[in-house]
Chain A
Amino acid sequence: MKYSYIKPRAKTALTPEIKLLVSFFSMTIVMLFLTYGFLLYKDYTFTSDKVSYAQQREDLAHLIEEMKDEISYIEKQNALSQKIYTQNTVLKDSITNLFDLVPQRITLSEAKLLKNGLVLYGITPNKEVYSFMLQAPLRSIFHRTYSSFYPAKNGWLHFVSTNYIDDENNINMEDEDEN
């Protein structure tokens, strides 16, 4: 005897309610794992970026140090070359002034320019011309001036004028001794 007109269904644990619940939770879990995966990936990229920036920074620091060394070396080269160029220009002016200093009546035969002195050899018509026209200006420039004469064949006088500039240190020491 039949009590129902439909066939009995096989009973299962996966009822529609459970399926719905499982699908909701599985979505939630997938989202959680995706977030966790994203965080793991970011963590990895942050670490590698940090290491790379630190390395690049170190490289830059090395380069900066090398460039600084190069800059200071060029500045030294520049300073030394300017000093030498100035010395050459000063030397040129000194020689110009020296030859301008010699009057037309006196003829120079030799001039020796020393670091702290000047030696002149020449010929003068007489001692007075030499004293007034050459020795006086030389005395105003040099600290010590010595002159010696010997007669020339034409009645003029050969002269040797030796002039020195004392070191500033020596002058200061002498001043201190006098005091």
Chain B
Amino acid sequence: MKINISRQHIYLLVISVFLLIFVLVFSFVVLIPKGKQYREDRVELKKELREFRKYQDFHTQTEEKLKDLQSKNRHIITAFDAIFNPARFEKQHRSYFSSLKLSEIKGAGLEDEFVVYEVNTSSQISSPKSFYNFLDAVNKSDWIIGVNFPIDFKRDGELIHSSFTMKVYTNNKDKNSTKLKKKTKTKEN
């Protein structure tokens, strides 16, 4: 029995088989593994995105909290930042005293991470009420000031001579500068 296949048919068959094999091999060896990797990468990216959103939400919350704190404590923050100016203090609080004199500002050291300066004060008041008003005004002044013991009141004719020590609290500049250094380092990295 003789099978009679034309040359055209043989070409057709060979090309079909060759192309079919190519398609199958390409699909199974390259395309399907790549597709699997694509799905895995997509899941991983979603996970990363979820994590990033969490951080973003936490960042927003923390920022809101910080801004809220800053706006509520604006006076305190600026008061801690302010450098004590004896002349300005005298000008602001002279009205409570018949005379007010601040002498020698000396560094008293650190207290709760803050730098403390001691200022000796001598003054004359017409009545104790002036001193009470002064204590009220000190709590609203441009600096964080604590009136400290010993306090001495002495009759001086019609007036009362008073002398006391004030503690002025400010930010520790050295510590702040180290914080700034850290920030710049991280930015450089």
Contact = CB atoms under 8 A, between A and B. Distances in A.
A131 interface: no
Contacts of A71: 62, 65-66, 69
Nearest to A112: B152
A67 B66 contact: yes
A85 B79 CA distance: 13
Given A17-B12, A39-B34, A110-B154, A57 B52 contact: yes
B35 A39 contact: yes
A139 interface: no
Interface string A67-105: 111110011111011001101110110011001000000
Nearest to A17: B12
Contacts of A61: 55
Given A46-B42, A57-B55, A80-B112, A36 B155 contact: no
Interface stretch (A18-26, A140-148, A155-163, A164-172): A18-26
B30 interface: yes
Contacts of A87: 146-147
Contacts of B23: 25, 28-29, 32
Contacts of B45: 46, 49-50, 53
A88 B22 CA distance: 90
Given A17-B8, A36-B30, A69-B179, A88 B144 contact: no
Interface size band for B:
35 or more
Contacts of B11: 13, 15, 18
A114 interface: yes
A64 B59 contact: yes
Contact of B144 (A35, A81, A111): A81
A49 B47 CA distance: 12
Nearest to A35: B31
B96 interface: no
Interface residues of A, number: 60
Given A39-B35, A76-B112, A112-B150, A60 B132 contact: no
B51 interface: yes
B73 A92 contact: no
B4 interface: no
A162 to B, nearest CB: 13
Contact of A43 (B37, B59, B62, B77): B37
Contact of B31 (A15, A39, A43): A39
Contacts of A15: 8, 11-12
B154 A109 contact: yes
B98 interface: no
A62 B51 CA distance: 15
11 contacts: A43-B38, A46-B45, A57-B52, A60-B58, A75-B69, A76-B112, A77-B73, A80-B111, A81-B79, A91-B151, A113-B152
Given A15-B12, A57-B48, A111-B153, 20 more contacts: A29-B26, A32-B31, A47-B41, A53-B51, A64-B55, A67-B62, A68-B62, A71-B66, A71-B69, A74-B76, A74-B77, A80-B114, A84-B146, A84-B167, A84-B169, A85-B139, A87-B146, A88-B138, A95-B132, A112-B153
